Chain A
Amino acid sequence: MALLEVRDLTVRFDTGEGTVHAVNGVSYDLEAGETLGVVGESGSGKSVHVLAMLGLIPKPPGRIAGGSVRFDGRELLTLSERELRKLRGREIGIIFQDPMTSLNPVLTVGTQITEALVTHGLMSRRQALERAVALLDLVGIPEPRKRVTQYPHQFSGGMRQRAMIAIGIACEPKLLIADEPTTALDVTVQGQVLDLMRDLKKKLGMAMIWITHDMGVVAGIADTVQVMYGGRVQERGPVRAVFNDTRSAYTWGLLRSLPDHEMPIAAEGERVAVVATERQRLYQIPGQPPDLFQPPVGDPFAPRNPFATKRCLTEVPPLVQAPGAVPGHLVAAWYDLRAQREKAA
C-alpha cells in the first residue's frame, strides 16, 4: 500500500460564468519517503488537486466531483473539517509560496511553530518552545533562541521561508506538501532552501510533493516527476527518464522552450555593441492554454501539439506505461513522440 493513493480525482468550480474543469481525473501513488515533483503552468491543476485533497478549496464555488484519495489507508475526501484539521499540520505538513501572507503577522514565529504541536496535544507549551528553537536551528536560522520570540516582519524573505518550513515539519509529518516554496526567493537563497530540503528529507524520511513550474528546481529535488496540463497528468516517471527520454509532447515543448544552458561561450574579450542578427530564437509552444470552461473533448494539449493525431482531438488518451521506457514511466498520448521525432530527424 502506498502512502498516498489518488484515484480519478475530479475537481470543478461552479462560477457565474460557467463550470471550471480544474482537475479531470488524476490518479497516482506516492510511496513513503518519495519526493514527487508536480510540474505545470497556471490552470494545469497542479496546485488545485492537492488543495482539494486536503479540504483547502473553498466550497462553493469548488466541489470534488469524483474520485478517491487514501492517505495511510484512510479516505480523505469523506473526512469532516475537524478530522481534516487534525490531519493537516500533524501528519501532512504544508508550505505555501508566500510566507508573508501565510504567516500571522501578530504572532511570534515561535508561537506559530508551536501551535500545531500544542493543538495536536503532542507536548506542553514549554516543551514545544524548546522544540521550536531546535527547529529554527535545523532550518539554518542563526540565533534561534532570540529569533523564536520575534515577529515575521523582523525576518528577511529567505528567513521567513525557512520559518515556514520549520512550521511545516514541526510535527514530523509523513508527508510534506510544498506549493512553489522557493518561487518568491532570490536565486542564492533558493539554492540554500533546496539544499536544506534535500537534507531534511534524508534526516526525517518524509515523503514530499513539491509543486512548481520551474523545471530546474524539479530536476534538482524530485525522485519522480509528474507533468500536468489542462487538469490531467500528461507524463509521469523517474526524474531522469522524464528529462532524458521524454515521451509527452508537452513536456518536450516545455524543456525545449527553456534557454539552452549549454550555450557555446563567445570568444573572450568580445565587445558586442550591435544587434546580433544570427541569434536563434527559443522554441515556442504554439497557441494558448486550454479554456477550462469548455475543455477540449480529446487530449487537452492536442490543439498545440505538432505531433497530434486525429484521435488526439476526439478521445482522451489514458495514462499508461510508455513503450520501451523504464518501468513506471507513464505517458498519456495517442502519438508516439519517440517515433515521430526520429521520423522528423
Chain B
Amino acid sequence: MNAIAPKPILAVEGLTRHFDTAHNLWGRPTHTVKAVDGISFTVAPGETLGLVGESGSGKSTTGRLVLRLEKPTAGRIVFEGEDITGLKTHQLIKVRKKLQVVFQDPYSSLNPRMRVGESVGEPLRVHGVVRGGAEQRDRVAELFRRVGLDPRFMDRFPHQFSGGQRQRIGIARAIALGPKLIVADEPITALDVSIQAQIINLFLDLQEEMGMAYLFIAHDLGMVRYLCHRVAVMLRGRIVEMGPTAEVFANPTHPYTRALISAAPIPDPDREAARRRLPYEPSPPPPEAELREVSAGHFALV
C-alpha cells in the first residue's frame, strides 16, 4: 500500500453473507450457501473498482451489502470513515445521499407511472435539497443536460425511452445528490453495443467532473479493463485476485483469473483462430487460502 494513498471512501472488512437454504426438524440450518464469504477491499475517492466473476460468484450480493439493501452475516462496511453496518433505516438516510446505485435494467428501477423528471427530482426533494416546483425543475433540467438528455423529455414516461436513454435517466437520478460512491450493477449489460460505448463514456465524463468513486460490477472483461482503475475477481463468494487493472490483466496469477481472461472473446478473427482457452473447473477456494501480495498492490489467493 502506498503511503500517500488517500483515506478510502469505502472499506469493507470480512464481509460475509450466508443463506441457510435448508433446516432440520429443530430449525437448525443444515445447508448454507456462502454467497459472500469474508471479503475485504477498499475503494479510494474518485477510484473505480471493478468486481468481476461468474453468476453466483457473489459480486451482485456484495454490491447489495455495500448499499445496505441486504444485511451481512458478519463483517464491517465503513463508508467515509463511519461504520454503517449496523445503522437503522432512518440513520441510513444521510448515507444514501452520498452512496447511490445504478441498476442493470433501468426500466424496472424507474416507476412506470411517474414522469421521468419527477423520478430524477424525487431524491432532491426527499433530502430537502429543493422544495419542489420551479426550483426542482431547473435542477432536473440541469441533470438531464449533464447526462446527455434533452430536458424537454422531462414530462415523458419511462416506456417512451430507449434502453440507453433509460439508463441515462437512472444515472441522472443517481448523481442528483452529488454522491461520493456509485454502485453500478451490470449497468451496460442490457444495452446494445453502440449504446454501451455512450454510457461508458458518460461514466468517465461524470467521474472526471464530479470526482466520485464507482464500484462497477460487470462480467464484460473488455469494458472492465477499459473503465476500472483496479479490479477484484470473485469466485464462490471469495476474492481470488485483486489489483491494478492493467497489472491483473497483464499478470493474472490465480488459475481462475487466467481462465477468465483467456476465455473472453476478442473481436479479431486472426487472434480468435490462434487462441487457446485455459481449461478450469471452478471449485470453491480452500478455506485456509489467503490473499498474498504478489506485486505492489496486486493480491492473489494462495
24 contacts across the A-B interface (CB closer than 8 A) = A41-B195, A188-B263, A188-B280, A191-B263, A216-B265, A216-B266, A217-B265, A220-B265, A254-B194, A257-B193, A257-B196, A260-B226, A268-B295, A269-B244, A269-B298, A270-B246, A272-B47, A272-B229, A273-B5, A273-B44, A275-B47, A281-B205, A282-B200, A284-B194
A255 at the interface (CB under 8 A from B): yes
A42 at the interface (CB under 8 A from B): yes
Q: Which residue of B lies closest to A240 (CB)?
A: B269
Closest CB pairs A-B (n = 7): A216-B265, A269-B296, A191-B263, A259-B226, A186-B54, A266-B246, A220-B272
Provide the B139-177 mask, 1 if CB < 8 A to any CB of A, else 0.
Answer: 000000000000000000000001110000000000000
Return A247 CB to nearest CB of chain B, in Å.
16
Tell me whether B246 and A289 are in contact (CB under 8 A): no
Q: Which residue of A lies closest to B259 (CB)?
A: A188
Most B-side CB within 10 Å, residue of A215, A219, A266, A281: A219
Return A322 CB to nearest CB of chain B, in Å.
17
Tell me whether B225 and A263 are in contact (CB under 8 A): yes
Set of chain B residues within 8 Å of A214, measured between Cβ atoms? 193, 265
Tell me whether A258 and B295 are in contact (CB under 8 A): no
Q: Given A188-B282, A258-B222, A259-B222, does the pair A270, B244 have CB atoms closer than 8 Å? A: yes
Roughly how many angstroms separate A187 CA and B54 CA in the complex, as a whole number? 7
B192 at the interface (CB under 8 A from A): yes
Set of chain B residues within 8 Å of A192, measured between Cβ atoms? 277
A243 at the interface (CB under 8 A from B): yes
Tell me whether B208 and A289 are in contact (CB under 8 A): no
Roughly how many angstroms separate A265 CA and B52 CA in the complex, as a whole number? 19
B207 at the interface (CB under 8 A from A): yes
Contact of A284 among B197, B226, B265 (CB under 8 A): B197
Identify the stretch in B23-31, B97-105, B116-124, B247-255 within 8 Å (CB) of chain A at 4 or more residues: B247-255
Tell me whether B47 and A273 are in contact (CB under 8 A): yes
Tell me whether B219 and A271 are in contact (CB under 8 A): no
Set of chain A residues within 8 Å of B236, measured between Cβ atoms? none
Tell me whether B54 and A216 are in contact (CB under 8 A): no
Set of chain B residues within 8 Å of A259, measured between Cβ atoms? 200, 222-223, 225-226
Q: Given A188-B280, A270-B244, does the pair A219, B265 have CB atoms closer than 8 Å? A: yes
Provide the A168-197 mask, 1 if CB < 8 A to any CB of B, else 0.
Answer: 000000000000000000111111101100
Roughly how many angstroms separate A101 CA and B55 CA in the complex, as a whole number? 18
Provide the B200-230 mask, 1 if CB < 8 A to any CB of A, else 0.
Answer: 1100110110010000000101110110011
Tell me whether A41 and B193 are in contact (CB under 8 A): yes
Roughly how many angstroms separate A154 CA and B208 CA in the complex, as a whole number? 47
Tell me whether B267 and A187 are in contact (CB under 8 A): no
Tell me whether B263 and A271 are in contact (CB under 8 A): no
Return B43 CB to nearest CB of chain A, in Å.
10
B260 at the interface (CB under 8 A from A): yes
Return B188 CB to nearest CB of chain A, in Å.
11
Q: Given A219-B268, A257-B193, does the pair A271, B277 have CB atoms closer than 8 Å? A: no
Set of chain A residues within 8 Å of B230, measured between Cβ atoms? 272
Q: Given A213-B192, A216-B265, A263-B226, does the pair A240, B270 have CB atoms closer than 8 Å? A: yes
User: Apart from A188-B260, A288-B162, what 7 extra A-B contacts exist at CB < 8 Å?
Assistant: A191-B265, A244-B270, A258-B193, A268-B251, A270-B247, A273-B47, A282-B226
A106 at the interface (CB under 8 A from B): no
Roughly how many angstroms separate A201 CA and B2 CA in the complex, as a whole number? 52
B residues with a Cβ closer than 8 A to A are: 1-2, 5-6, 44-47, 54-55, 162-164, 192-198, 200-201, 204-205, 207-208, 211, 219, 221-223, 225-226, 229-230, 244, 246-247, 249-251, 259-260, 262-273, 275, 277, 280, 282, 295-298
Would you list which residues of chain A between 69 and 126 have a CB under 8 Å from chain B?
none
Q: Which residue of A lies closest to B208 (CB)?
A: A275
Interface magnitude class on chain A: 35 or more
Total A-B pairs, Cβ < 8 A: 163
Q: Given A186-B55, A216-B267, A275-B211, does the pair A265, B5 have CB atoms closer than 8 Å? A: no
Return B183 CB to nearest CB of chain A, in Å.
18
Set of chain B residues within 8 Å of A216, measured between Cβ atoms? 222, 264-267, 272
Roughly how many angstroms separate A257 CA and B164 CA in the complex, as a whole number? 15
Return A283 CB to nearest CB of chain B, in Å.
6
Roughly how many angstroms separate A111 CA and B296 CA in the complex, as a whole number? 55
A339 at the interface (CB under 8 A from B): no
Contact of A243 among B201, B267, B297 (CB under 8 A): B267
A276 at the interface (CB under 8 A from B): yes
Set of chain B residues within 8 Å of A275, measured between Cβ atoms? 46-47, 207-208, 211
Tell me whether A41 and B266 are in contact (CB under 8 A): no
Roughly how many angstroms separate A247 CA and B100 CA in the complex, as a whole number? 43
Roughly how many angstroms separate A274 CA and B229 CA in the complex, as a whole number? 9
Roughly how many angstroms separate A257 CA and B277 CA in the complex, as a whole number? 25
Tell me whether A283 and B295 are in contact (CB under 8 A): no
Q: Which residue of B lies closest to A264 (CB)?
A: B246
A285 at the interface (CB under 8 A from B): yes
Return A275 CB to nearest CB of chain B, in Å.
5
Q: Which residue of A lies closest to B249 (CB)?
A: A265
A296 at the interface (CB under 8 A from B): no
A277 at the interface (CB under 8 A from B): yes
Roughly how many angstroms separate A194 CA and B44 CA in the complex, as a whole number? 38
Return A268 CB to nearest CB of chain B, in Å.
6
Roughly how many angstroms separate A130 CA and B64 CA in the complex, as a whole number? 46
Set of chain B residues within 8 Å of A218, measured between Cβ atoms? 267
Tell me whether A261 and B222 are in contact (CB under 8 A): yes
